[in-house]
Amino acid sequence: MANPSIAQDTQVLPREQEETNEKRLNEILSSYQGKEEELIPILQQVQQAFGYLPEPMMKKIAKFLQLPESTVFGIGTFYAQFKLVPSGRNIIRVCRGTACHVRGGARILREVEKHLGIKPGESSLDLEYCLETVACIGACALAPTMVVNNATHGQMTTKKAAEALEQFRGKK
């Protein structure tokens, strides 16, 4: 069963929003010719415009390119750059690299998961946060590390991780 506290692509949009989205999609498609090789650039542009690839748009793109929907969904799920569910505006990244791992990175990740109520790859229901893990952020001397949007936090403890998130929430 779906976790009710994380974002899913099951939102029913108000009619006006649907129309605006449709208009935006048509604008994007109008700059293409409907050729199969345009699939990836179109998906990239749609994701850039909407933050993810909404299911109804994937179907319209399939129609526009005269491709089976399964092909469009296949590409959307194959490449890590594409997101099929809405993604949180603020990205929290916790490092899972070796240097961070040996210095307690797993504890930091658990604390952040607890704090945000989501797991890596998920976004919070209010779309404020998404949580990711990374292989190394290139600041191993500061391990264990985490990044809140573009701000790197080093020598993390569970307490410092919780404080960094609280502080960030307070600033918004």
**DSSP strands (E only) in the chain:** 90-95, 129-134, 146-148, 151-153
Residue selected from 46, 88, 97, 118 as contacting ligand FES according to rule CB under 6 A: 97
Smallest gap from Cβ 69 to ligand FES, in A, equals 40
Cα(121)–Cα(161) distance, integer angstroms: 19
Which of residues 60 and 153 has its CB atom nearest to ligand FES in the complex?
Answer: 153
Other CB atoms closer than 10 Å to residue 29's CB: what's the count?
20
Does the protein bind ligand FES through residue 148 (CB under 6 A)? no
Q: Using CB atoms within 10 A of its CB, is residue 23 exposed (0-12), middle (13-18) or buried (19+)?
A: exposed
Does the protein bind ligand FES through residue 87 (CB under 6 A)? no
Residue selected from 61, 95, 109, 148 as contacting ligand FES according to rule CB under 6 A: 95
Residue 60 one-letter amino acid? K
Residue selected from 75, 136, 160, 168 as contacting ligand FES according to rule CB under 6 A: 136
Q: Taking a C-beta distance cutoff of 8 angstroms, is the pair 172, 131 a contact? A: no
Binding mask 99-118 for ligand FES (x = CB under 6 A): xx------------------
Judged by the rule CB under 6 A, the positions of this chain that interact with ligand FES are 95, 97-100, 136-137, 139-140, 143, 145
